[in-house]
Structure 1
Amino acid sequence: MTQPPPIPPTGGPSGAPPPIPRAAAPVPAPPSTPNAADRAQRQVTEQTRTYPCGNCGAPLAFVPERQCLGCSSCGTSYPIELDQSARIVKHDLQSTMNQLAQRAPLGLASIGGNEHVVTCQACGGKTIFNGSLTATRCPYCATPIQRDDVQDAPERLALDAVLPLQVGEPQARDSIEKWINSRWFAPTEFKKYRTLGSFTSVYMSYYTYDVEATTGYSGQRGDNYTVVVGSGDNQHTETRIAWRSVSGVVHNSIRDLPELANTGMDEPRVRELEPWPIQAAVPYTPEFVAGHLSRTYDRDPGDVFDRDARPRVDAQVESTIRYDIGGDHQRISRKQTSFDMLQFMYLLLPMWLLTVNFDGKPFQVVVNGLTGEVQGQRPWSKVKIAAAVIAGLILIGVIVFLYQRMR
């Protein structure tokens, strides 16, 4: 059986990540390409990590278009070299939850309360980490800062993997522009999101689950048949159902079922970003997060499975049972599921997040950081809707008038 993972980050109260300055356009890399891992600098007193450029000292950030650390000042690139011997390990859910209970008996451990302040080692300014935020930029000099105290905390789960961001800011903004411009009944003011809201890249915490389930069931199978009833003018055909008792055992094998581990998000919209290419995930290394926001988990894998993943597993099990019963109709009177295997993996998935406060309410629009797909919510313009209704009524009135004149 796979051993539980070591335990690092903690989730405080959630909230949408704060904005970061717009990233500069990538600059072509010069021939020299030192390794990205060599650029990490750890500040022991602050328990943070930064990435200064070895050529000019400016802060480095992960460039999605080139999949490397890049300096927007001098153009130097630093490739991210993965350990080819590293493997992504999946963990048994129950034994991991038992270990978490022993190390954090009071439940999900805190990462320092609602607010954690660190001193930027580049400019001396104060940077605030709110809630489950673990990577951000200094608001004064834009230096990317990562919290090592979260990743190294013994009562927290260690990250297993990451899907590196592939959609850069220009592509993300283009996707957002097209999405917003296609919302015909959104208020005109909402389309001025550049001045009303924040738009930023962020890595969200996810768990993926692997499940082997065996389910015994009993129920009824219904088959349609027709009979002729009545006589004379009242004779007609009726469809009836013949029911018979059935029972059986079905097996379900589910792999890489993704579930969001953060709170404060529009979960139905975020789920619509699926499917995620989980098979393309790589072992976690902090260089992929440099220059982008990142959040540790707010909910543990046991809670997320019970609340979010288990209903989806049950739905697949029920679908399998109905297929196994066959016929035209199915009734399930009993089902008992046991898990032959229940494993999970903790990873980061990339998004671009637009949060707009309009008319006193927050609206979230999310962009899949791998495909550019956009999902979100937007307000409705009462003025535009009323105008459309009036225009429709006028059009109907004109059509009726012309029809009557033609008659």
Structure 2
Amino acid sequence: MTDTPPPAPIQEHRFGCGQCGADLRFDPGTGELKCDHCGNTEEVREAGPWAGGIKELDFRTALDNLLPAQEIEETRVSTCPNCAAQVEFDADTHAAECPFCATPVVTDTGTHRHIKPRGLLPFRLDEEAARAAMTGWLGSLWFAPNGLKDYARKGRRMQGIYVPYWTFDADTKSRYIGERGTVYHETRTVMRDGKPTTVTVQKVRWRPASGRVARFFDDVLVLASTSLPKRYTDALPPWDLTALEPYRPEFIAGFRAEGYTVQLQDGFTEARQIMDRQIERDVKFDIGGDRQRVHSVDTDVKDVTFKHILLPVWLAAYKYRGTTYRFVVNGQSGRVQGERPWSAWKIAFAVLLGLIVAGGIGYVVAMNQ
């Protein structure tokens, strides 16, 4: 049995303006800290305990609870009673709205012990650009209610959230057994309408195949949150992970960060599924031929490392006529995904118009006869 390393103490980060003392926030447009009160800007510092690059951590060491104490921290979090999101709030925030589902949340003093994030993608899109991307996406949807479009364009502020992800690296070597299929054609004579006819028949000749494939996986990305539907977050890539920055609290200033709810082991289970699908494609390519059958694959996985990183997402949760609609915008690229709203009257009007057009065509045809 191993001793649990004591986590790093809770740290509060506040970045005051050097000119007026108001709070600074990270400005995606300039990549600097900006004061909304007086307009002063300051550079994001690169020194301190967060400097030195983004470090990969050993997966097995983490599972055995042997990570160094400096890799573990406690943060103050509040859990949404509706969607179970764990969101970090400022110490002086006692009531807020969940950015994921718009449910009112009363914050508490609970803490969450977790592996520190060591890298993040800073926001590139500010709120204005994210809102423009979202309203443009809504405007491209057929039968979306105009009221929701207007509400989204003029409504409440969007929330900038750093969403947690795991990345995994692994070295894999796989042995497989399968079959290679070669397509060939035969001609045969059949009777059709009492007459002999020559036809061509496609067949596949199967031969045993076996071999080895190897692949090094780099930065297999797995969502570490259950707060957002995966059908939306899975459609947000591509992410340019080459732009990852070492974690610095200045990048979080003015935004919120979600604590991970998918544990490391569960994250790796999903990563293995992603790896296995790629390995199967590698095996089929190695088998070659026109068709492939894969009977078994035995994979050795070694040197597994991981990172806890944060990726930028703009969220909008609007309650419109009793229904909550959620939209997510990739804070790096502007790609939008969300719940599909429908306008009942627009659909009814389209159906009625279609019936009128069909009736008119039928009348013209009947008159011409």
Q: What is the TM-score normalised by the length of structure 2?
A: 0.82
Give distance in 2, aligned partners of 1:255 and 1:382: 47
For structure 1, list consecutive stretches of 5 or more residues without a partner in the other structure. 1-5, 10-43, 117-129
Letter of the structure 2 residue corresponding to residue 244 of structure 1: R
Give distance in 2, aligned partners of 1:72 and 1:198: 16
Aligned position for 1:366: 328
- TM-align CA RMSD: 3.3
Give distance in 1, aligned partners of 2:303 and 2:260: 23
The answer to whether 1:291 aligns with 2:257 is no
Sequence identity percentage: 31
Letter of the structure 2 residue corresponding to residue 364 of structure 1: R
Residue 139 (structure 1) shift: 5.9
Distance 1:8 1:221, change over 3 A: farther
Provide the aligned length of Structure 1 versus Structure 2.
341
- The alignment partner of 1:80 has SS state of coil
The answer to whether 1:303 aligns with 2:261 is no
Aligned position for 1:170: 128
CA contact (8 A) 2:314 2:331 kept: yes
Distance 1:185 1:169, change over 3 A: same
Residue 400 (structure 1) shift: 3.9
For structure 2, list consecutive stretches of 5 or more residues without a partner in the other structure. 97-107
Q: Deviations over 1:141-197 (max 9, x none)?
A: x9xxxx9996xx7x5212211111111111111111111111221233332236776
1:48 corresponds to which of 9, 12, 28: 12
Residue 405 (structure 1) shift: 4.3
Residue 294 (structure 1) shift: 1.0
Give distance in 1, aligned partners of 2:233 and 2:178: 36
Aligned position for 2:44: 80
Aligned position for 1:98: 64
The answer to whether 1:134 aligns with 2:88 is yes
Give distance in 1, aligned partners of 2:276 and 2:245: 29
CA contact (8 A) 1:90 1:345 kept: yes
Structure 1 residues 144-159: aligned runs within 5 Å = 155-159=113-117
Letter of the structure 1 residue corresponding to residue 87 of structure 2: L
1:377 corresponds to which of 339, 359, 369: 339
Structure 1 residues 203-282: aligned runs within 5 Å = 203-231=162-190, 232-282=195-245
Distance 1:169 1:198, change over 3 A: closer
Letter of the structure 2 residue corresponding to residue 132 of structure 1: Q
Give distance in 1, aligned partners of 2:255 and 2:90: 6
Distance 1:137 1:406, change over 3 A: farther
Residue 390 (structure 1) shift: 2.6
Residue 362 (structure 1) shift: 3.1
Aligned position for 1:340: 302
- The alignment partner of 1:355 has SS state of strand
1:386 corresponds to which of 323, 348, 351: 348
Q: What is the TM-score normalised by the length of structure 1?
A: 0.75
Distance 1:163 1:114, change over 3 A: closer
- The alignment partner of 1:86 has SS state of coil
Letter of the structure 2 residue corresponding to residue 293 of structure 1: R
CA contact (8 A) 1:87 1:283 kept: yes
Aligned position for 1:402: 364
Residue 403 (structure 1) shift: 4.3
Greater shift in the superposed pair: 257-266 or 189-198 = 189-198
Aligned position for 2:293: 331
Aligned position for 1:32: none
Letter of the structure 1 residue corresponding to residue 216 of structure 2: S
CA contact (8 A) 1:47 1:148 kept: no
Distance 1:285 1:362, change over 3 A: same
2:161 corresponds to which of 198, 202, 213: 202
Letter of the structure 2 residue corresponding to residue 133 of structure 1: V
Give distance in 2, aligned partners of 1:309 and 1:148: 33
